[in-house]
Structure 1
Amino acid sequence: MAEDTFETVRYDREGRIARITLDRPDRLNAIGSGMPGEIAAAVARANADDEIHAIVVQGAGRAFCAGYDLKEYAEAEGENPGVQSMPWDPMIDYKWMRDCTEKFMTLWRSDKPTIAKVHGYAVAGGSDIALSCDFVVMAENAQIGYPPARVWGCPTTAMWVYRLGPEMAKRMLLTGDLIDGAEAKRIGLVLDAVPEAGLEDRVQTLAQRMAGVPKNQLMMQKMMINQAIDIMGLRHTQMFATLFDGITRHSPEGMWFKDLAEREGFHTAVAHRDSGQAIPEGRELKAGR
């Protein structure tokens, strides 16, 4: 039964398990301005509920999450939270993206274990949300990746490197490629990948297994493991990643992408970004090519 009403997510309780459902199915659950805060609020609600032992995060409709809403940020004319007029103030951008990142990371820092249940797509900012969870379980045919690594983005949570190590993180972020659930499991990015028809059963089995463990035990084990990642420099890496994300959106190439999205629509801009074509660079752009 739904326990609270948000605009972009749903919160439900099922015994000892809370479910946070990203709920913009008409936009493939793309991240608008209100979603990060509502995710954090839903996590806080689950942590405050003494009956809850585990949290499942999922997407309504055809996908988990298709990333930040480029129609809202890239296609819209003029300034918005994602892009400023030049010269730009990097600290304004950093504060905004740091806030989004911290809200996604409430899933990682939650007292209670979190599971991302991924079907369809978990791309760009959607992969940030999924990889902020303790566990990711994917449908074998689902797709995950960070295409804005090609232009207009840097993954602010930086969880790719902590899950994959440097070489495989570079393989993903120096190409912007998408991979399916089966490949994500093979390289160790996600806990498991199963046929889509069995996704709910696999997630439910994992959640119920943890739901039988005392909450204090879950909290202590998670805190112990997470502090090891913190010692590796997670917060410092996220600071650099968040700064770089703002720079990518205000570089010559980033402004080219924004202009293309304004003129021809974000679908055209994304199609060019993801096509494998060379993306125009600074000198070419100055020369008008």
Structure 2
Amino acid sequence: MSVFLTKLPFYAKLSNLSNKNNITSVPSKYLSRLLLLTISTQSNINHHQYKTFSTINYEVNNRLAYITLNRPEVLNSINDLMPKELSECVEKANNDPSVHVIILSGAGKAFCSGYDLTYYAQTKTNNAVQEMPWDPIKDYKFMKKNTEYFMSLFYSLKPTLCKIHGDALAGGSDIALCCDIILMANEARIGYMPARVWGCPTTAMWIYRLGIEKAKRMLLTGDKITGIEAEKLGLVLKSVSQEELNTEVEKLAQRMATIPINQLVMQKLMINQALDNMGLRTTQMFATIFDGIARHSPEGLAFKRRAENLGWKVAVKERDLGTYDWTADASIEIKNEHNDNKS
């Protein structure tokens, strides 16, 4: 319970505890019980619109917090600010006694297309690649911070549901897979294509969701798969038609929202600790370091040069089709009738 109170320091804001004298007059051994009882019975069903972040939209309605990635003009691609604002919104929802469940989605045509490659790959001056010789620990600190921001969804005391439409690719898949439960549109796509060159999924959630063989199937190909296949692999809870997606997510979230917050927190902490005991943090440490190596390897630098010289769309197409030898830094011709299926 001490963890819960540390994460949710809002007792002074509760209406029936608004008088500071009331708080100090309650014996300490009963205070935590009183707070948890008040929190779990809180049923604020009013709609709240909070200040608009630069990259996120945050709203609360009927016990649900809605966090929406809000850069639709670039398919919600990740810039330097989005990971931090995402974490701030998760914290806001955890600190709100009216919120029981968090729903994460994306505005516009997609959930999230990954990191903004116009900035990170195509532009010559940015944080993605250092001047040589590079400092791997400096790179690790930068990427570890983003990993921790994404993982705020996993370590959120309150349940997090992810609603995927359109694409959830590369860094966008990192964000989605940090959520507790994912529902996906049938035709939506998810994948980590930088596994082919220039990346390693820093959150490493593929292995914990899929197991050894299926995680290798995804990361040793860098393929994108639809919601239907993602459900078959066990990567997401459910795949439904685009028309049914909102209804299915709302139905599940509202079902959870009828449960007291303290019960939701206890169940989630109990389940999450199993992954921590399996070495989740250690795996993420290696994955984040490997991600830095992938961007500074000879092949990674070749990809970066290609993106700078020809544009990231050309480099990404060559990466995903397998028509470029990044080690030789030269185009190759692969006669494979299945190539078209990987675009």
TM-score by length of 2: 0.82
Q: Which residue of 2 aligns with 1:253?
A: 299
Q: Which residue of 2 aligns with 1:236?
A: 282
Say which SS state the counterpart of residue 273 (structure 1) adopts.
helix
Measured in 2, the distance between the counterparts of 1:84 and 1:175 equals 27
The one-letter amino acid of 1:240's match is: F
Q: Which residue of 2 aligns with 1:3?
A: 50
- Is 1:196 aligned with 2:242? yes
1:51-130 to structure 2, matched below 5 A, reads 51-78=98-125, 80-130=126-176
1:145-156 to structure 2, matched below 5 A, reads 145-156=191-202
Measured in 1, the distance between the counterparts of 2:133 and 2:59 equals 45
Residue 251 of structure 1 and its aligned partner are, at CA, apart by: 0.4
Is this contact kept in 1: 2:323–2:331, CA < 8 A? no
Q: Which residue of 1 aligns with 2:64?
A: 17
Structure with the bigger RCO (C-alpha within 8 Å, sep 6+) is: 1
The one-letter amino acid of 1:21's match is: T
Give the fraction of aligned pairs with identical amino acids, expressed as a percent: 58
Measured in 1, the distance between the counterparts of 2:188 and 2:322 equals 21
The one-letter amino acid of 2:265's match is: M
Q: Which residue of 2 aligns with 1:144?
A: 190
- Is 1:165 aligned with 2:211? yes
Residues 262, 278 of structure 1: CA spacing in aligned structure 2 closer, same or farther, 3 A cutoff? closer
After the TM superposition, which of the residue ranges 215-224 and 1-10 deviates more from structure 2? Answer: 1-10
Say which SS state the counterpart of residue 4 (structure 1) adopts.
coil
Residue 288 of structure 1 and its aligned partner are, at CA, apart by: 11
Measured in 2, the distance between the counterparts of 1:72 and 1:277 equals 24
Measured in 2, the distance between the counterparts of 1:280 and 1:255 equals 9
The one-letter amino acid of 2:217's match is: R
- The C-alpha deviation readout for 1:119-166, integer Å capped at 9, x for no partner, is 000000000000000001000000000000000110000000000001
TM-score by length of 1: 0.97
Q: Which residue of 1 aligns with 2:272?
A: 226
Q: Which residue of 2 aligns with 1:39?
A: 86
Residue 59 of structure 1 and its aligned partner are, at CA, apart by: 0.2
Is this contact kept in 1: 2:160–2:180, CA < 8 A? yes
Measured in 2, the distance between the counterparts of 1:279 and 1:145 equals 21
- Consecutive unaligned residues of structure 2, counting only runs of 5 or more, are 1-47, 333-343
Residue 278 of structure 1 and its aligned partner are, at CA, apart by: 4.5
- Consecutive unaligned residues of structure 1, counting only runs of 5 or more, are none
Between structure 1 and structure 2, the one with the greater Rg is 2
Say which SS state the counterpart of residue 20 (structure 1) adopts.
strand
Say which SS state the counterpart of residue 325 (structure 2) adopts.
coil
Residues 151, 288 of structure 1: CA spacing in aligned structure 2 closer, same or farther, 3 A cutoff? closer
Measured in 1, the distance between the counterparts of 2:325 and 2:52 equals 42
Residue 275 of structure 1 and its aligned partner are, at CA, apart by: 1.1
From 326, 331, 338, the equivalent of 1:280 is 326
The one-letter amino acid of 1:144's match is: I
Q: Which runs of 4+ in 1 moved over 3 A?
A: none
Say which SS state the counterpart of residue 66 (structure 1) adopts.
coil
Residue 276 of structure 1 and its aligned partner are, at CA, apart by: 2.6
Say which SS state the counterpart of residue 254 (structure 2) adopts.
helix
Measured in 2, the distance between the counterparts of 1:288 and 1:173 equals 23
The one-letter amino acid of 1:54's match is: V
Q: Which residue of 2 aligns with 1:177?
A: 223
Measured in 1, the distance between the counterparts of 2:219 and 2:298 equals 20
Measured in 2, the distance between the counterparts of 1:279 and 1:222 equals 45
Residue 280 of structure 1 and its aligned partner are, at CA, apart by: 2.3
Measured in 1, the distance between the counterparts of 2:280 and 2:179 equals 15
